[in-house]
Structure 1
Amino acid sequence: MAEQKNYITPEGYATLEKEFQQLVKSERPELVKVISWAAGNGDRSENGDYIYGKKRLRQIDSRIRFLTKRMDAAEIVYSRTQTNTEKVYFGAWVTLFNLADDGEMIIRIVGQDELDPAQGYISWVSPMAKALLGKNLGDTIRVVTPGADTEYEIIDIRYE
């Protein structure tokens, strides 16, 4: 089965790459040194440094494999080159007006590895993003989630 594309912004890809490099070039080599030192201290069955080090090394190696797969499947989307700025596409900053409570919110549609609700980053596969993708400035959307059924008007679309 072919792996699903991992749509991601250039900033998101850079974040994955930075974490990967940190693990491969810094954390893993330092941990291997600690494990090697601890292994030389005798009985490994009661050696906390050795036991913890091996456990942490497995975690790091697992994360490296995960990051490698995500970066290999990545398709970087350069939203700054978007020419139709009146429509919502991946990477867009969208300002929404909540028709129920007259509140505004700003969200950005990003890749699954970039989620950060505190910054307004939502995944392109989320119900909100699915309702927004392809819509125009001024359109009204309805977002249905288990907790609510809310209508929003798209009042601004930006690509930065």
Structure 2
Amino acid sequence: MNKTPLTVNGAEALKAELHRLKTVERPNVIAAIAEARSHGDLSENAEYDAAKERQGFLEGRIKELEAKLSNAQIIDPKLLDADGRCVFGATVELEDLESGDTVTYQIVGDDEADVKAGKISVSSPIARALIGKYSGDIAEVRAPGGVREYEIIDVRYV
């Protein structure tokens, strides 16, 4: 399988979620199944069915997180030496040439993307337009509303 890029913070968040699922959620579901089982007839026991369904979702998420972490290529943006180039993990300040608005985004993995927090996925149209560019360059982003142009004001590795 291909390695999936992930920032250090993204990997820590996935590890924390995995730990919580294994140490808190899994025991809670096991206890709920045991409790529902103690009520007798399993064929008409909605609590038992709900607990088993929750267990299925939980185990699926645990497997998904373990797979993501095992295939992750963890990148620390602070250790990057890209000579001012936009790369995975970089924090980029942009100016919208049409409106004059400035925005700052960090280019992160798909699982850690959160536009409201200023983190965009490396596979998003804007990140794909930025990758490889330098401060002062113009990036043309093909969006559903048409082509937008952004000037790269600053590239930081934090």
Q: TM-score, normalised by structure 2?
A: 0.95
Q: Structure 2: any 5+ residue segments left out of the alignment?
A: none
For residues 76-111 of structure 1, give each alpha carbon's deviation from its aligned partner in whole angstroms, at most 9, with x where no partner exists: 011101223411111111110101111111111001
Letter of the 2:127 counterpart: A
Distance 2:96 2:143 in 1: 15
Deviation, 1:157, is 1.1
Secondary structure of the corresponding residue to residue 2 of structure 2: coil
Letter of the 1:44 counterpart: L
- Give the structure 2 partner of residue 100 of structure 1: 98
- Pick which of 110-119 and 83-92 moved more: 83-92
Q: In the alignment, is the contact (CA less than 8 A) between 1:85 and 1:159 conserved in 2? A: no
- Pick which of 81-90 and 93-102 moved more: 81-90
Deviation, 1:4, is 2.7
CA-atom RMSD in angstroms: 1.1
Distance 1:68 1:81 in 2: 25
Letter of the 2:56 counterpart: R
Q: TM-score, normalised by structure 1?
A: 0.94
Q: How does 1:93-132 map to 2 (within 5 A)?
A: 93-132=91-130
- Give the structure 1 partner of residue 2 of structure 2: 4
For residues 123-145 of structure 1, give each alpha carbon's deviation from its aligned partner in whole angstroms, at most 9, with x where no partner exists: 11111111111111100110002
Moved over 2 A (4+): none
Provide the aligned length of Structure 1 versus Structure 2. 158
Secondary structure of the corresponding residue to residue 45 of structure 1: coil
For residues 16-38 of structure 1, give each alpha carbon's deviation from its aligned partner in whole angstroms, at most 9, with x where no partner exists: 00010111111111210110121
Q: In the alignment, is the contact (CA less than 8 A) between 1:85 and 1:157 conserved in 2? A: no
